[in-house]
């Protein structure tokens, strides 16, 4: 059984003006997502600025999220690293926090071969009992790609590796994966502009940036598809494209944190090297949020 189906939010991590994690605002964000129908919360991913959290913060943010959610919906914790031992450590700590699954990005900077990927993911999976979703995002990992054959091999041979978040942007690769997998891999869209296309190939849903600012609409897009109302799902997808483009006109999560601020949810500062959104891009984002009807 999939960890979740539908819309999972890649939730932002709010910070105070002096750069500490703002747990009061974080609790409000989590509850807002659940109230709006979000199907899962993915904590400490790229959108959550996990790369600038130290280990203690990383684990505490995961623990806090799991406690606030309190089993109302699944919580998936990002615990990947370019160092296998670090990923094992974070994964074991996340399991202690009571999460429902793990999201593990491919190694970045040092990279590796497909053989290295198999060993990396197998060692992490064997260190925990939680189900694991691999995270395929070559744009952030120096071009490193988990080949479809490797994804299928891992899901078939390692019991608790269950799926992949695909942020390659390559629908042909997703189609190849789905054809090889024959239902043995839970595929999630990692790109908000490809939710419906990937679900049409058998995908389970999305791990979404858009859901931070439009949780109800992102959930409805997935729910409509899963219930067979393809036309409604497709229309939500198409209507959201200009907003999605605005949310990625600068590197994620710069725009989405500005979007949260525009909604009156102050997620605070960005940790360097991320910087505040350029004024002309912020104006574009505001206009698209208004056009989409969430402002």
Give residue 12's Cα distance to chain centre. Answer: 10
Q: Angle at CA 138, nearest 5°, toward 63 and 215?
A: 50
For residue 273, cis peptide bond before it (omega within 30 degrees of 0): yes
Fill in the DSSP letter of residue 51.
G
CA distance 176 to 151: 11
User: CB burial class (10 A; 0-12, 13-18, 19+) of residue 289?
Assistant: buried
- Residues identified as active-site: 135, 165
CA proximity to 125, closest of 161, 164, 93: 161
Question: To which residue do tokens 């997703």 refer?
Answer: 174
Residue 187 and residue 180 in contact, taking contact as beta carbons nearer than 8 Å: no
Give the CA count within 13 Å in the CB-facing half-sphere of 199. Answer: 26
């Amino acid at each position: 059984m999939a960890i979740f189906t539908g819309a999972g939010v890649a939730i932002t991590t709010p910070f105070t003006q002096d750069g500490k994690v703002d747990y009061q605002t974080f609790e409000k964000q989590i509850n807002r997502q659940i109230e709006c129908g979000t199907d899962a919360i993915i904590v400490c991913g790229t959108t959550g600025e996990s790369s600038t959290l130290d280990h203690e913060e990383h684990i505490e943010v995961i623990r806090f999220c799991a406690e606030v959610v309190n089993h109302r919906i699944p919580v998936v914790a990002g615990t990947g690293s370019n160092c296998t031992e670090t990923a094992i450590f974070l994964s074991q700590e996340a399991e202690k926090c009571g999460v429902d699954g793990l999201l593990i990005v491919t190694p970045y900077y040092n990279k590796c071969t497909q053989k290295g990927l198999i060993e990396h993911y197998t060692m992490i999976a064997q260190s925990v009992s939680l189900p694991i979703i691999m995270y395929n995002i070559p744009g952030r990992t120096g071009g490193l790609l988990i080949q479809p054959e490797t994804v299928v091999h891992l899901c078939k041979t390692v019991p608790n590796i269950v799926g992949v978040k695909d942020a390659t942007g390559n629908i042909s690769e997703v189609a190849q994966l789905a054809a090889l997998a024959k239902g043995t891999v839970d595929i999630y869209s990692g790109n908000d502009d490809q939710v419906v296309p990937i679900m049409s190939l058998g995908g389970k849903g999305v791990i979404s940036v858009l859901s931070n600012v439009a949780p109800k609409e992102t959930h409805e897009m997935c729910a409509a598809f899963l219930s067979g109302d393809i036309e409604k799902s497709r229309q939500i997808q198409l209507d959201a494209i200009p907003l999605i483009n605005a949310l990625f006109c600068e590197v994620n999560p710069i725009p989405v944190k500005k979007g949260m601020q525009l909604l009156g949810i102050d997620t605070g500062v960005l940790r360097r090297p991320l910087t505040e959104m350029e004024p002309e891009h912020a104006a574009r984002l505001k206009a698209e949020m208004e056009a989409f009807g969430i402002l």
